[in-house]
Amino acid sequence: MSAAPLVGYSSSGSEDEDEAEAAAGAQARPGAGGCRRSQSPLPSQRLPVPDSVLHMFLDTEGEPEDDQEKHGGRVRTFPHERGNWATHVYVPYETREDFLDLLDMLLAHAQTYVPRLVQMEAFHVSLSQSVVLRHHWIVPFVQALKDHLASFQRFFFTANRVKIYTNQEKTRTFVGLEVTSGHPQFLDLVSEVDRVMEEFDLTTFYQDPSFHVSLAWCVGDARLQLEGRCLRELQNIVNEFEDPEMVLRAHAEQVRCKSGNKFFSMPLNGFWCGDPDVNQNQHQTQRRDNQASRCAPRPSVSTLFAGLGIL
């Protein structure tokens, strides 16, 4: 605020051009390709290249135009460069019909204060800031994420506290639901994602993160209009909605990484735990076991051989 293989890219045309140049060279050499002496020689005069072709690619070397109208007036937080891929790690938030009904009520009320608010296209809980990856880093970056997250279990979480957020540049404002149950599990996920970020010399997540699901956004800093009375009224809508705890309870079953227009999915392990309290206790036990296994000294080779009866 899917890990699938990379999709192949179409050729830039350089290979076809090389083949064409090779073929032209073969035709130009005397006797190449079995040409007969009776054939008339190729004309030496070249045909003029049309102006439409000469001017076709004049602008391809310049910087891409950052047209804000094409993406809702949003401003880039970092300049676009060829070979740089905006990358983001998150837990997807799967929606149900009753959640969307609640969302419609919240958005309609918030728009009475800030009419330019629009609904998010997809919902998630962020585990990283948006960072820039070079194209050749994507595969090793995703593999590092898979390695670091391989032992994590699925868990339940609840996001039911309305909160107003802005991005660091204060160019966008978000209405979100803050996570109130499942915070320790998200902290553990972020800890491992941060390790991967450090391996690639990228920016880590915020020091004291407020994990949340963004519901709606608008351009500009709209905190003055949305905080205070509007925020209290939005929270009342959530509290008075039918069975809000169940409606806003979600499953964290995978971590996703979006890099450019490519998606990679890293499923979490284990089975669902039906009771959030038991889920929390199991998480604390697993966390202690993981820490103990990391700190435990590794047995020596002689100890292993002795256990096998070799020594």
Give catalytic residue positions.
Answer: 124, 212
Query: What angle is formed at CA 82 by the lines to CA 79 and CA 85, rounded to 5 degrees?
Result: 70
